[in-house]
Amino acid sequence: MPPGGALPRPGIHGEPPRQEGRPRPTVTVCRGCCCGTVAKVPRLDHEAQLADLRTSLAGVAMVRRTDCLDACERANVIVIQPSADGRKAGGRPVWLGQVNDPGAAADITAWVQSGGPGLAEPRADGTSRQPARDGRLSAPR
Lowest mean pLDDT among 24-28, 87-91, 130-134: 130-134
CA 35, 101, 61, 50 dihedral sign is positive
pLDDT for the residue 104: 87
Give CA–CA dist 119/41, Å, rounded: 31
Lowest mean pLDDT among 23-27, 72-76, 110-114, 124-128: 124-128
Q: Is the Cβ–Cβ distance between 130 and 140 less than 8 Å?
A: yes
Give CA–CA dist 113/4, Å, rounded: 42
124 pLDDT band (50/70/90 cuts)? low
Question: What is the average pLDDT across 119-136?
Answer: 58
> Is a pLDDT exceeding 70 seen at residue 9?
no
Write down the CATH number for the domain with range 22-138.
3.40.30.10
Q: Is the pTM of this model over 0.85?
A: no
Angle at 66 between CA 137 and CA 28, to 5 degrees: 40
Q: Within a 13 Å sphere around the CA of 113, how many CA atoms are in the beta-carbon half? A: 14
Please write the tens of the pLDDT for every residue from 34-93. Answer: 898 899 999 999 999 999 999 999 999 999 999 999 999 999 999 999 999 999 999 999
